[in-house]
Structure 1
Amino acid sequence: MPEKVALIGSGNWGSAIATKIGVNASACADFDDKVYMWVFEEYVKEEDGKWVRPARGAKPPEGKTWVDEGYTPLTQVINEKHENVIYLPGIELPHNIVACPDVATCVDGATMMVFVIPHNFLAPIVPKMEGKFAKGAIGCSLIKGIEFEKEGDMKPILISDLLQAEMKKSDGAPVVDMSVLMGANVANEVAKGDFAEATIGCTKPENGLKWCKLFNTKDFAVQAVTDVAGAELCGAMKNVVALGAGFCDGLGYGGNTKAAIIRIGLKEMQKFCKVFYGDRQIKDETFLESCGVADLVTTCFGGRNRKCADIFAKNIAAGTPKAWDVIEAEELNGQKLQGERTGTAQDVMKAIKAKGVVDAFPLFSQIHKIAFEGAKPETIIDMKLEKYY
């Protein structure tokens, strides 16, 4: 029987990866041709050639619906136009991608489930899937981010572990083997067909092969490593290093300094993974894959965190410092800093303090001091680098 694929999530990245999944599901006999994509239902209408939504928090007039007001469900627009006009405008989706507003219907009978939703959606959405997906189904998380325990040693919690736990909550529920897909993947570039690489972190090679078959195309090269924790943690830790790269840019430091920050950052990412997930057999080669050095470089040269850290440093130098939330609101056009307004950097610091290993992470420590403790940005280079030797 062919694999039945469900895509849970339809934002910018979810819609972009749908362009690859749809093509492969249609072309390969290993997969059922039809792929359901869960869409958080919104209402849209076209005005002056642009698709718009009701204002945030707005409600239709009493006794009426948004449809009465001339709006159309986003799922209907996607299925008729084969385009996500809100989150990936201008890109045609494969015609075998079927938008669905009900997640239970989306995953009904699914044997392979791809998760691309904000991690704060997990708790309300995953329980609705109970009893719907096939026994023996496997999952793959494309969700970048990380949670931390709130007490004790503040250990980082993998999103893939949270997903697995949510799906196992009810009595008799199966354990879903989870993989991850991480890498240097700017969604719009992937959707346009610009060449990119990605890394599958898996627990079982046979499942890694299945995911590679689903995602890999001539312009989207995917390789698997049996290292879920290493691949996934890279996707979160890069955002901390990007702050350091941004401080360098804001200070006008050259390529040598920025390259040093990136190299040191990669080493500390690797060390962090081994300190907190050494029992998962973290592999050194993972950090040389797309999920590691490639994603780190992309984020340190073009990501939101780099941009805002650049501005943060320039404002301090000019004597007009601004808080992170102010910079975010002014510069990101409604988008958010990666890592919950740099909260990842704060949680990382709490974790390494709780573990008693602060001295092993001079870059992470200095980034935290600059971002949250009032240290001057130029102290980014005041690190005890001999701790690396």
Structure 2
Amino acid sequence: MATRATYGSFQFDFLTSAGTVTVNDSLDLLAQFMGVQEPVEALTNLAMDGSLSLQRALEERLAIIDCTPADIQRFIVEHPPASRLVPGIKELITALQARGVAVYLISGGFRELILPIAAHLGIPKGNVFANRMNWQWDDETGAPTKLVGFDTSEPTAHNQGKPQAIARIRQRNPYNTVVMIGDGITDLEAVQTTGGADLFIGYGGVVERPAVAAEAEWYVYDYKALVDSLARYRVAMIGSGAWACAVVRMMAQNTKVDDPADEFVDEIRMWVYEEDYQGRKLTEVINETHENPKYFPGFHLGDNVVAVPSIEEAADGADLIVLCAPHQFVHGICKQLMGKVKPDAAAISLTKGMRVRPEGPQLISQMVRRYLNIDCAVLMGANIATDIGREQLSEAVIGYDNLDQAERFKKLFERPYFRIGLLPDPVGAEMCGTLKNIVALGAGMVDGLGLGPNSKATIIRQGLVEMRRFSRALYPSVREDTFLECCGVGDLVATCYGGRNRLVAEAWTRAHMDGSPRTFEELESELLKGQKLQGVLTSNEVQEILRKRHWEQDYPLFTTINRIINGYLTPKFVVDYEAGCTFSDPATAEGSDDDGDAPPVQRRSRKESVVPAVSVSA
């Protein structure tokens, strides 16, 4: 049996009768305009109570009114649609349509009177079911002149006609739930017939009919009750680093709006790894100042963002989960959330990286699907957090399998300065976001060597070639044009000029060239202030795949960068990557003497170059 919960969901078609949209019946008001109000209203009441057949009532009412097309035009001018609407109906329809709900208007009245109302409410003509007046046409002018009845072939001309109209709607949308709201017996028929509506909501805001109220599964007098009952999504942010804070700031702007069409709960819970900041808990500082002074200083996150130290608390009851933590920690986060998220929740990953397992690589979105058993899209693009915090023009794509969820996330994220496209290639988008961090290390090395834009452009171009080749080698379904999207070349260029991987790689290279080498861990701590470096870890993960599949020389830039960061080659080899990849693989000759082919720097094991999984503010 359909319930209010059915109405609160979004996968339904909403049907309303004309009597629940306007404060007066259009035909009765036309009768008043024509000076024949009382006899026409009497017939209307007999039909609505079920004492007179709908077809006979329509025939007799039209015969009494006996209007011309000019009369109808004058009537519409004198009684414009906005002046006749029931309070709250426009807000309700706007809220439904914003959620992707198809709204239909079914009326036992006439299209000539109903279509202006539908247009004002934003209901397409094709979603209006109503009767049509028949006219006598002048032979000389070809214009309609005299009313001669109506078209009785329309389903709405008869009792039980509204269920027939619903049957046609079901043919268009066979899988949706159908909700009907009405105030008369003919509206109630819509749910009493097999194949009719799934839920009937009675409306008594204009006329209360006891027979309808007695049979309705839900009876309301004010449309605000329906607006307030629409489901709204609760949002959780898992992570609180610079990028997470930039995103939560945009989400907070979008959820805190005074708009009945808003789909989101105002409050956003953000998981923050608890740590001290100037002698106080970081969560306390964020909740008091509405700013993350450690990782995103100077930017107001929003009064509706609540920092919590527990992942479980952040995700509890969330409908939309936004994951934005360093990729080396996501596996532990997913295991911690197993069985603790809503089964119908949806996730989106903003994390760039992958996990290497004995059976093969696993992308972050794949990990989320496996452990949490929910859909997971990805958001990738050229997104430097501080630029977005300053509201500078930026763009991203949502890579998706589920279009409905992608459109919902787009509404959650998009701002005038943050443009979002939809891309049906989540794997391709995520691979771009993962691999570009390796190329950014190479770009930073070029900068550290003091070389110019030509050299850097060469590294970026070769990096894009290897990103595309590697992605399609692992996942043949990845689309070619994905690499031309903002998640591909756009993100790559931004990262190679302004990202943290480039910054640290430049400093690391300068230190080596100055004869005072430093580790990535030292520079990460000094330059990133608690943020995590992704490129080194991703390079080692990708290189493990290349080595196992004997692909090292197919990806000369990836291979050379990895050998440089692990101390097997000097940074100068970044611009001689074709030679750098040809030396025998050091990983398979660990402990052997140098053969003199490759000038070594201070070597380190691959395990040492991985950023350790210590405490983190994601």
TM-score (norm 2): 0.52
CA distance in 2, matches of 1:221, 1:26: 19
Given that 1:9 and 1:38 are in contact with CA atoms closer than 8 Å, whether structure 2 keeps it comes out as yes
What does residue 172 of structure 1 align with? none
2:534 to 327, 338, 345: 338
CA change 1:293–1:337 in 2 (3 A) is same
Given that 1:75 and 1:99 are in contact with CA atoms closer than 8 Å, whether structure 2 keeps it comes out as yes
Give unmatched runs, 5+ long, in structure 2: 1-230, 580-618
How far has the Cα of 1:330 moved from its partner? 5.1
What does residue 37 of structure 1 align with? 269
2:472 to 244, 264, 274: 274
CA deviation map 1:152-207 (0-9, x unaligned):
6xx3211111222221xxxxxxx311001111112122122122111211112222
CA change 1:82–1:119 in 2 (3 A) is same
Q: 2:549 is aligned with what amino acid?
A: K
CA deviation map 1:325-360 (0-9, x unaligned):
444455544544323xx1322222221121222232
CA change 1:307–1:74 in 2 (3 A) is closer
CA change 1:24–1:366 in 2 (3 A) is same
Matched, 1:375 2:569: yes
Q: Secondary structure at the match of 1:110?
A: coil
Matched, 1:8 2:216: no
CA change 1:130–1:242 in 2 (3 A) is closer
How far has the Cα of 1:121 moved from its partner? 4.1
1:258 to 456, 459, 462: 456
How far has the Cα of 1:316 moved from its partner? 4.0
CA distance in 1, matches of 2:509, 2:338: 48
What does residue 179 of structure 1 align with? 377
What does residue 100 of structure 1 align with? 308
Q: 2:362 is aligned with what amino acid?
A: I
Q: 1:20 is aligned with what amino acid?
A: M
What does residue 160 of structure 1 align with? 365
CA deviation map 1:112-143 (0-9, x unaligned):
11112234444554455455543321110111
What does residue 439 of structure 2 align with? 241
Q: Secondary structure at the match of 1:189?
A: helix
Given that 1:145 and 1:235 are in contact with CA atoms closer than 8 Å, whether structure 2 keeps it comes out as yes
Q: Secondary structure at the match of 1:364?
A: helix
What does residue 288 of structure 1 align with? 484
CA distance in 2, matches of 1:250, 1:367: 14
What does residue 135 of structure 1 align with? 343
Deviates more, 1:185-194 or 1:27-36: 27-36
Q: 2:354 is aligned with what amino acid?
A: I
CA distance in 2, matches of 1:79, 1:312: 36
Given that 1:6 and 1:35 are in contact with CA atoms closer than 8 Å, whether structure 2 keeps it comes out as no
CA change 1:315–1:20 in 2 (3 A) is closer
CA change 1:26–1:261 in 2 (3 A) is same
Given that 1:42 and 1:53 are in contact with CA atoms closer than 8 Å, whether structure 2 keeps it comes out as no
CA deviation map 1:42-85 (0-9, x unaligned):
366xxxxxxx344xxxxxxxxxxxxxxxx4x5444433433233
Q: 2:370 is aligned with what amino acid?
A: A
CA distance in 1, matches of 2:245, 2:423: 25
2:355 to 141, 147, 157: 147
CA change 1:105–1:349 in 2 (3 A) is closer
Q: Secondary structure at the match of 1:286?
A: helix
Provide the identity percentage: 38
Given that 1:145 and 1:159 are in contact with CA atoms closer than 8 Å, whether structure 2 keeps it comes out as yes
How far has the Cα of 1:209 moved from its partner? 1.3
How far has the Cα of 1:238 moved from its partner? 1.0
Given that 1:38 and 1:102 are in contact with CA atoms closer than 8 Å, whether structure 2 keeps it comes out as no
Give unmatched runs, 5+ long, in structure 1: 45-51, 55-70, 168-174
What does residue 218 of structure 1 align with? 416
2:389 to 163, 176, 191: 191
CA deviation map 1:255-279 (0-9, x unaligned):
112111101101100111111122x
How far has the Cα of 1:242 moved from its partner? 1.4
CA change 1:132–1:240 in 2 (3 A) is closer
Aligned residues: 347
What does residue 207 of structure 1 align with? 405
Given that 1:36 and 1:100 are in contact with CA atoms closer than 8 Å, whether structure 2 keeps it comes out as no
Q: Secondary structure at the match of 1:182?
A: strand
How far has the Cα of 1:302 moved from its partner? 2.1
Q: 1:343 is aligned with what amino acid?
A: L
Q: Secondary structure at the match of 1:179?
A: strand
CA distance in 2, matches of 1:86, 1:319: 32
CA deviation map 1:279-329 (0-9, x unaligned):
xx2112221222111111121112232233333433444444444344445
1:348 to 542, 548, 553: 542
CA distance in 1, matches of 2:405, 2:574: 42
2:320 to 90, 103, 112: 112
Q: 2:564 is aligned with what amino acid?
A: I
Q: Secondary structure at the match of 1:92?
A: coil
Given that 1:141 and 1:180 are in contact with CA atoms closer than 8 Å, whether structure 2 keeps it comes out as yes
CA change 1:326–1:5 in 2 (3 A) is closer
CA distance in 2, matches of 1:245, 1:257: 9
CA distance in 1, matches of 2:578, 2:337: 50
Q: Secondary structure at the match of 2:371?
A: helix
CA change 1:214–1:120 in 2 (3 A) is same
What does residue 509 of structure 2 align with? 313
CA change 1:326–1:89 in 2 (3 A) is closer
